[in-house]
Structure formats: C-alpha cells, structure tokens
C-alpha cells in the first residue's frame, strides 16, 4: 500500500486515473511540459500550497526533524542559502520563534542568502555571502551568540554534467560544514543536502571527526529519481584549536 502526504491510498485497483496531463503548447519545450506535469501531480507540491509553505522542500526538513529532533523550542537556527524560505518557515514553528507555544522557550531563526528574500514572520533574513571573510562573525552577532543548528539546502547551479554537479555540491556542502564549525556551539547540529556519487565520503569523514553522530539519509519528500541525500550531524565536539590532533591521530 502506498500513501501520499495527504494519507490517501493510491495503490488500489480500479481507481480512476486522476493524474493531471499537460499538453505541449506551441513554443514550449517538451522538458518544460514534463516538469510542469510533474509539479501539478506532485502531492508534496499540492500540500505545500494548501499549508502555506514556499515549496515542497519544506517537507524534507520536517521529515528529518521528525526523525532526529534538532529543531526544538528555544533553539538558535541558521539557514544557509535560505531562499525561497520553506526551511525557515518550518524552523520558525518548531523552535517557537513567534512565542506561540505557551510555556516553551522562544527560539531564533536566521536566514542568509545571496539574493533578497521576502519577509517571513518570526525569521530574521539577511542578504549575505556566507563564504565572505567575517561572515561567521556577522552571523554570531545577529544571533547574539552561537547557533544550535546550522542547516543548508543549497545546491550549486547545474552544469548538466553529473560528475561536475556532484563535485560542485559536495564542495559547497564542505564549505557550509566549515562555516558551521565556526558558529555552532558544542553539542550542535549540522544538516545539509548532498548528492550521492562517491565524493561525499570525504565529507562524511570530516563530519565524523567533528560530531558524535552522523547519518546520511534520504527523506520521503526527496524524489526517488533524485540522487540527493541529506547529512545530519549531531553532537558537535566543539571548535578545534590550531594544531590540535584528531582523536585517531597519535
């Protein structure tokens, strides 16, 4: 039995085919038609519209948090490459940034992106390149301290070449990880999107040296035909000082 995000069974025989089909309009490429058709028939896209999220990606972080519980009331969260804002929307609710959960600690959600982002109630948004010098100090100043969670759903611009795209997103994810090392407090969590392809093994090795638990998972909301996965690294060991040896080094 297969259930959609709305909980409806879609596996029964004899059911009517309710799939929306899109004809290729004059001047529109077939690839664009297929993309539009997939969007119209994607239950997560439909659910996002109904529930007010800015994209289906919101359900990826919801499902990851349901499993690993890092977006807790009172947490200070940094969302790197936050546009269009779906992950921030989820974080605002879960960390109680608006103070709507009586008796619970009030958290902070800070989103940064290269482009300007439309305002999100409960989130503080900044146009910033997290790779620029001093970006970590700016983020800690805006937060008023270190972060409990650093998360990233960033992806480098596609080149159309699978291996190149894989290396680009792994490089971006490694940069986000090193940024997290600078802003996370001890015990913190790092969550980021990666693409399966082999080069992520080095990233996982780096994370395992800096966190007590590291998982490499594919949430249900991630499309089955996508090579994307997410790393969830928990229990940050704390920022290392220059010259400090790793635990596995003599």
Q: Which residues are catalytic?
A: 193
Binding site feature residues for S-adenosyl-L-methionine: 85, 87, 113, 129, 153
The structure tokens listed for 241 are: 């000082």
Nearest partner of 194 among 239, 159, 155, 150, judged by Cα: 155
Using only C-alpha atoms, the chain has a radius of gyration, in whole angstroms, of 20
Q: In angstroms, rounded to a whole number, what is the distance separating the alpha carbons of residues 114 and 129?
A: 5
- The binding site consists of 85, 87, 113, 129, 153
Please give the Cα distance from 35 to 148 (Å, whole number).
Answer: 37
Distance between CA atoms of residues 133 and 155, nearest Å: 21
């Amino acid at each position: 039995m297969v259930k959609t995000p709305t909980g409806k069974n879609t596996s029964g025989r004899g059911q009517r085919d309710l799939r929306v089909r899109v004809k290729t309009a004059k001047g529109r490429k077939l690839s664009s038609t297929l993309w539009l058709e997939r969007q119209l028939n994607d239950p997560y896209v439909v659910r996002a519209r109904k529930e007010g999220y800015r994209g289906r990606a919101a359900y990826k972080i919801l499902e990851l948090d349901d499993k690993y519980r890092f977006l807790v009331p009172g947490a200070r969260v940094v969302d790197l490459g936050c546009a269009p804002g779906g992950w921030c929307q989820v974080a605002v609710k879960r960390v109680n940034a608006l103070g709507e959960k009586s008796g619970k600690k009030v958290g902070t959600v800070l989103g940064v992106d290269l482009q300007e982002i439309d305002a999100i109630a409960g989130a503080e948004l900044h146009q910033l390149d997290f790779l620029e010098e001093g970006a970590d100090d700016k983020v800690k100043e805006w937060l008023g301290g270190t972060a409990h969670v650093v998360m990233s759903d960033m992806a480098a611009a596609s080149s159309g070449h699978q291996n190149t795209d894989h290396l680009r997103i792994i490089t971006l994810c490694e940069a986000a990880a090193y940024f997290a090392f600078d802003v996370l407090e001890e015990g913190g969590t790092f969550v980021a999107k990666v693409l399966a392809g082999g080069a992520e093994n080095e990233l996982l090795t780096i994370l395992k040296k800096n966190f007590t638990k590291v998982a490499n998972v594919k949430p249900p909301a991630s499309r089955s035909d996508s090579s994307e996965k997410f790393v969830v690294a928990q229990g940050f060991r704390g920022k290392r000082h220059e010259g400090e040896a790793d635990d596995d080094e003599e």
